[in-house]
Structures are given as structure tokens and as C-alpha cells.
Amino acid sequence: MTAAFYVSAAIAVLSTVMAITRADAVHALLYLVVSLLAAASIFYVLGAPFAAVLEVIIYAGAIMVLFVFVVMMLNLGQAATIQERSWIKPRMWIGPAALMAVLMAEVAYVLWASRKGNFAGANVIEAEQVGIAFFGPYLLAVELASMLLLAGLVAACHLGRGDERK
């Protein structure tokens, strides 16, 4: 199981790196799906099977399908890929990479201090426990999440209708 974690982690990191560096949107999306599936297996290893299933269904399934759908609607062809290549210059990565390095350093410092005696994934938390907690103490959060989704729905509808005045 431990090996599975590290393999999945490596796949997740590598596929994410590929995803953010691709010029073709569809390629990037496919790498992203791989990254999400790897994350799902990490969840499973960490003893959260319910979350792993949701990751596959909703993230890798529904959300990524949305992306594919939009890429299709935009009808980006070869020209867009060439345009994208011209935007990806080595110079552009310097700043973000520096920021990333600082972030990593800070987090590594914190994690180094607490590296001992903390182990995760020893117990499996089933969907039942998650559901009981969800509709028990977190009921208000569920309600809020429903409102958020409704707002997202309304906003997407409104924006998707386009400019009717045209």
C-alpha cells in the first residue's frame, strides 16, 4: 500500500507538470484527467474510498467533461495551438517558479518540524461515517453548498445566454 501511494504521487506530479506545459488544450486535459485519477488512488490509499470515488466521478468525470465540452465549443484548431506555443516562453516560467520555490521552502520547513509520529491512512473511513457526519453536524454546510451550486447554475445560465442585445 505504501508503494502504491508513492507511485500514485509520482504519477500525479508528473502528469500535472505535463498538463500545465502542454500547448494543445485536449492533451493538457487528458494529462489532467490522469493526474486526478492518480489523486483518487492516493485517496484510496489514505483510507478515504468514498472521496476516491467522488474524485473519479465528479472531478475526472463531470468537471473534465465540462472542460472538453467548452474546448469543443471554442473550436480551437491548429492555429490556436501554434498561438499557444508562441505564448509559452522559458522566460515566462521564471517568476512563477521562483514563487513556487519560496512556497515549497516554507512548507518544507513546516513539515520538517512535524515529520515524526504522524501517520495517515491506518484506518479506513467508510462512506457511512462520512454520510452520518455530513447530515449531522455539517448540515448547515450542506445547505450552504446547495445554495452555492444554485448560484453557480444561475450565473452560468445567465452568462451562457450571451449578449441578447447584439
Partner 1 sequence: MLALLWLTPALPLLGFVILFATAGRLPASAVAAVGVGSVGLSAVIALIITASFLTTPPEGDFYRQVLWRWIAIGSFNPEVAFRLDPLSLVMMLVITFVGFLIHLYSSEFMAGDEGYSRFFASMNLFVAAMLILVLADDLLLLYAGWEGVGLCSYLLIGFWYRDPANGAAARKAFIVTRIGDTAMVVGLILLFTRLGTLAIPELMERAPQAWPAGSATATAAAALLLGGALGKSAQIPLQTWLPDAMAGPTPVSALIHAATMVTAGVYLIARTHVLFELAPAIQLAVAAIGAATLLLAAFSALNQHDFKRILAYSTISQIGYMFLALGAGAWTAAIFHFMTHAFFKALLFLAAGAVMMCIGDEHDIFRMGGLWRRLPLAFASFLIGAASLAALPLVTAGFYSKDMILWGAWTSGRGGPALWAAGLIGALVTAIYIFRAVFVVFFGEMQIAARSRYGWRIAVPLGVLSVLALGGGFVETPAALGHVEAFSRLLEAVLPTQREVAAAPATQATVMAIASFAALAGVFIAYLVYLRRVRAATILDTSAVQRLHRFWLAGWGFDWLYDRVLVRPFLWFAQLNRDDAVDAVYDGVAFSSRVSHAYLSRTQTGRVRWYAGWLVAGSLAAIAIAVFA
Partner 2 sequence: MAGIPLSHGLLVAVVLFALGLVGVLARRNLVFMLMSIEIMLNAAGLAFIAGGARWAQPDGQIMFILVLTLAAAEVSVGLALILALYHRLETLDADAADKLKG
Identify residues 41-60 at the interface with partner 2 (CB under 8 A): 42-43, 45-48, 50-51, 54-55, 58-59
**Considering the rule CB under 8 A, would residue 57 count as an interface residue with partner 1?**
no
Report whether 56 contacts 133 (CB < 8 A). Answer: no
- Chosen from partner 2, partner 1, none, partner binding at 109 (C-beta under 5 to 8 Å by type): partner 1
**Considering the rule CB under 8 A, would residue 163 count as an interface residue with partner 2?**
yes
Query: From CA 7, how far away is CA 120, in angstroms rounded?
Result: 17
Among 75, 78, 109, 123, binds partner 1 (CB under 8 A): 109
Among 10, 70, 99, 154, binds partner 1 (CB under 8 A): 99
DSSP letters along 43-104, please?
HHHTT-HHHHHHIIIIIIIIIHHHHHHHHHHHT--HHHHHHHHHH--GGGGHHHHHHHHHHH
Report whether 10 contacts 34 (CB < 8 A). Answer: no
Q: What are phi and psi of 35, to 5 degrees?
A: -60, -45
Among 114, 140, 164, 165, binds partner 2 (CB under 8 A): 114
Q: Binding segment for partner 1 among 40-48, 80-88, 105-113, 117-125 (CB under 8 A)?
A: 105-113
Report whether 26 contacts 70 (CB < 8 A). Answer: no
Among 66, 70, 94, 102, binds partner 1 (CB under 8 A): 102
**Considering the rule CB under 8 A, would residue 132 count as an interface residue with partner 1?**
no
With respect to partner 1, which residue has the nearer C-beta, 96 or 152? 96
